[in-house]
Amino acid sequence: MAFASPRVSRVEHGRTLVSGLVSSAQSTRQARRQADRAACPSVVIVDGQSVKTTERGGIRGFDAHKRVKGRKRHILVDTLGLLIACRVEPGDISDRKAAALLLGGLSPLFPNIRTVIADAGHQSRKLARHLLCQDGWKLQIVKRRQRAFKITGLTWIVERSFAWLGRNRRLSKDYEYCVQSSETLIEIAPTRLMLNRLTQA
C-alpha cells in the first residue's frame, strides 16, 4: 500500500531531505544519551498543528475542524519531547495521511521504534496495518479522556513540543512560500533546546 504525496518537491530535494534526517537523528541520539536514555527511542509521539499562512502564497488548505486556512505542521517526537521528524502540508490533509507520509522512511534511521502514539485524529485501520506490515510498529491511539498522566497519555509531550516551537517568533505563523523552508525552520527551532541539554554536563 502506498500513500502518495501531494507534492513532488520531496523527490526533487531527496538528497537534502535524507541529509537533514541523518543530521537530526544524530543530534537526537546524542541528546538522549546525555539524558541517560537509549540512543534510539522505542516509543514516539506524533501530532499535527494547524497554522495560518500569510499573503506570501504557496500551497495551503482549509482545516475545517480547526477552522484555520493555512498549513498543518506534523511533528514526531520522543518521550523527552525532542524532535525526530517534521513535515508541513496543506491544512486540508487528514492527520492519518500526513502521519503515513511523515513516518515513511524513518525505520532505517530509528530501528528500535516499536510504538507510535497518536490522538484520535490518527485512528485508522489502514494506517495501523500499514505501519505494522511495513515497519513492525504498533499504532497506539489515545482518546481525550485518557490524557491523564499515564503511559497511555503521552500525547501531552508532543503538545509541549509545539509550545516550545511557538516561542520562536518566526513560527507564530507560516510566513514561507515553500513548505521546505517551513520544515527547515521547524528543524532549526529545537536546536537551541538540544544544545542546552548537551552543555549541561
Q: 86-90, 150-154, 174-178, 194-198: which has the minimum mean pLDDT?
A: 150-154
Q: If you average pLDDT over residues 26-44, what whole number do you get? A: 86
Least Cα distance to 197 among 36, 55, 48, 65 occurs for 36
Q: If you average pLDDT over residues 89-118, what whole number do you get? A: 93
Pairing relation of β-strands 138-142 and 115-119? parallel
How confident is the prediction for the chain on average, in pLDDT?
83
What are the Cα distances from residue 125, in Å, to 3, 40, 54, 96, 173? 14, 26, 36, 10, 33
Q: If you average pLDDT over residues 7-28, what whole number do you get? A: 53
Q: Which of 11-15, 27-31, 81-85 has the highest mean pLDDT?
A: 81-85
For the whole model, what pTM was predicted? 0.81
Whether 92 has a pLDDT exceeding 90, the answer reads: yes
**Strand-pair partners of 48:** 74
Rounded CA-CA distance 186/168 in Å is 9
> Given this model, what pLDDT does residue 35 score?
82
Q: Which set of grid coordinates corresponds to residue 125?
A: 485501520
Least Cα distance to 39 among 149, 124, 102, 113 occurs for 113
Q: 9-23, 66-80, 134-148: which has the minimum mean pLDDT?
A: 9-23
Top-confidence residue, 149 or 64: 64
Please, which pLDDT band fits residue 12 given cuts at 50, 70 and 90?
very low
Domains and CATH numbers, the chain: 16-196 (3.30.420.10)
Rounded CA-CA distance 187/181 in Å is 10
Least Cα distance to 73 among 113, 102, 100, 105 occurs for 102
> Given this model, what pLDDT does residue 145 score?
62
Rounded CA-CA distance 136/166 in Å is 33
